[in-house]
């Protein structure tokens, strides 16, 4: 499938799923309740901070993703799909299904709203530290090229859906996301073990793209995004560079 066709499918996915995501997150949000659940847990659901960190910035050692500021709509959607067993992670993430089911629909919205309300903090993955511990990392510049321009005739740019450095309210912000989590999720989409990506014309968008990526491509993308600076699309000094 050519780059232009994949890019078109990606944008079609945004158009067809944004209403569903927005509808699922409709209603009032109790940020205080979300903070309490995040810090203390609720019933069968353990405190989110235990794996994701006190500020929701994630943990490479545990493979836990950054949750702070990645998008309330996206977090709510993921929690709902964990609760409904539409997303079934492996490893330490397997606990998420039970935790999400232990929360009400309103609780899940409150947690998502709280995480979106946090002051933005930069905490890139320590690629040198990961490498010294034996984790294979990629090439940041090669990853930047794929994120911004894609691979000609193969896959579209990541920014086509996520925005430059992963900034788009309908899809998760993936800049400053943890390296291990990013690499694991791209590998899961490639293997078809994660299947809750948007589907257009019977094609899972992320699965279709990830299958076109080599293992090195995945490591390169994760290396760039996990260290990419924040971009404010409202600021002229942070405009998307012309290619």
pLDDT 10s digits, 154-203: 999 999 999 877 666 678 999 999 999 999 999 999 999 999 999 988 99
User: Does one domain contain both 98 and 24?
Assistant: yes
Which domain covers residue 66, as residue numbers? 19-117
Give me the pLDDT at residue 25, please.
53
User: Are both 100 and 51 inside the same structural domain?
Assistant: yes
Token representation of residue 181:
């989590």
Which residue in 143, 151, 213, 211 sits closest to 175, CA to CA?
A: 143
Kindly provide the residue ranges of all beta strands, DSSP E only, lying in 88-175, ordered along the sequence.
none
Is residue 205 situated within a structural domain? Answer: yes
CATH number at residue 87: 1.10.760.10
Do residues 42 and 79 both lie within one domain? yes
- Confidence at residue 200, expressed as pLDDT on a 0 to 100 scale: 87
- Among residues 117, 147, 169, which one ends one of the domains? 117
In a domain, residue 59? The reply is yes
Structural contact between residues 92 and 181, judged by C-beta atoms closer than 8 angstroms: no
**Cβ neighbours of residue 82 under 8 Å, at least 6 residues apart?**
96, 97, 99, 100, 101
Three-class DSSP category at 161: helix
For the chain, the farthest-separated pair of C-alpha atoms sits apart, in whole angstroms, at 51
Residues near 47 by Cβ (< 8 Å), separated by ≥ 6?
Answer: 37, 38, 39, 40, 41
Q: Are residues 144 and 105 in the same domain?
A: no
Task: Measure Cα distances from 90 to 47, 52, 131, 151 in Å.
Answer: 19, 16, 23, 29
Distance of CA 75 to the CA centre of its chain: 9
**243 within a domain of the structure (yes/no):** no
Whether 104 and 209 map to the same domain: the answer is no
Count up the domains in the chain and report the number.
2
221 belongs to a structural domain: yes
What per-residue confidence (pLDDT) applies to 17? 43
pLDDT of residue 22: 44
Q: How far is CA 30 from CA 35, 46, 48, 113, in A?
A: 9, 19, 17, 8
Tell me which of 117, 137, 162 is where a domain ends: 117
Give dist(CA 52, CA 63) in Å, integer. Answer: 9
One domain, residues 147 and 232: yes
Residue pair 130/227 in contact by the 8 Å Cβ criterion: no
| Nearest Cα to Cα of residue 148 among 166, 130, 173 | 166
**103 and 9 housed in the same domain:** no
Give the pLDDT score at 232.
Answer: 56
pLDDT in tens, the chain (243 residues): 454 455 545 444 444 444 344 444 556 899 999 999 999 999 999 999 999 999 999 999 999 999 999 999 999 999 999 999 999 999 999 999 999 999 999 999 999 999 999 999 999 999 999 999 999 999 999 999 999 999 999 999 999 999 877 666 678 999 999 999 999 999 999 999 999 999 988 999 999 999 999 999 999 999 999 999 876 544 433 333 332
Percent residues over pLDDT 90 in the chain: 77
In a domain, 234, yes or no: yes
Note the pLDDT of residue 165: 73
pLDDT of amino acid 1: 47
Checking DSSP bridges between strand 199-200 and strand 203-204, what pairing results, if any? antiparallel
Contact 202, 195 (CB under 8 A): no
- Least Cα distance to 186 among 234, 218, 161 occurs for 218
Whether 138 and 53 share a structural domain: no
């Amino acid at each position: 499938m050519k780059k232009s066709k994949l890019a078109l499918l990606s944008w079609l996915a945004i158009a067809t799923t944004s209403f569903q995501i927005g509808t699922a997150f409709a209603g009032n949000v109790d940020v205080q309740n979300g903070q309490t659940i995040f810090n203390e847990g609720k019933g069968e659901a353990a405190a989110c901070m235990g794996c994701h960190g006190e500020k929701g910035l994630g943990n490479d050692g545990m493979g836990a993703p950054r949750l702070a500021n990645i998008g309330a709509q996206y977090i709510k959607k993921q929690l709902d799909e964990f609760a409904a067993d539409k997303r079934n992670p492996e490893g330490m993430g397997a606990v998420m299904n039970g935790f999400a089911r232990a929360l009400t629909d309103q609780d899940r919205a409150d947690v998502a709203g709280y995480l979106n309300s946090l002051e933005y903090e930069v905490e890139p993955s320590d690629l040198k530290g990961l490498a010294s511990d034996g984790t294979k990392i990629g090439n940041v510049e090669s990853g930047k090229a794929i994120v911004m321009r894609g691979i000609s005739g193969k896959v579209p740019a990541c920014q086509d859906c996520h925005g430059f450095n992963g900034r788009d309210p309908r899809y998760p912000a993936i800049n400053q996301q943890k390296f291990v989590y990013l690499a694991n999720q791209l590998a899961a989409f490639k293997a078809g073990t994660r299947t809750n990506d948007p589907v257009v014309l019977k094609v899972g968008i992320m699965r279709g793209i990830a299958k076109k990526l080599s293992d090195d491509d995945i490591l390169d993308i994760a290396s760039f995004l996990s260290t990419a600076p924040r971009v404010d699309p409202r600021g002229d000094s942070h405009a998307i560079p012309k290619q």
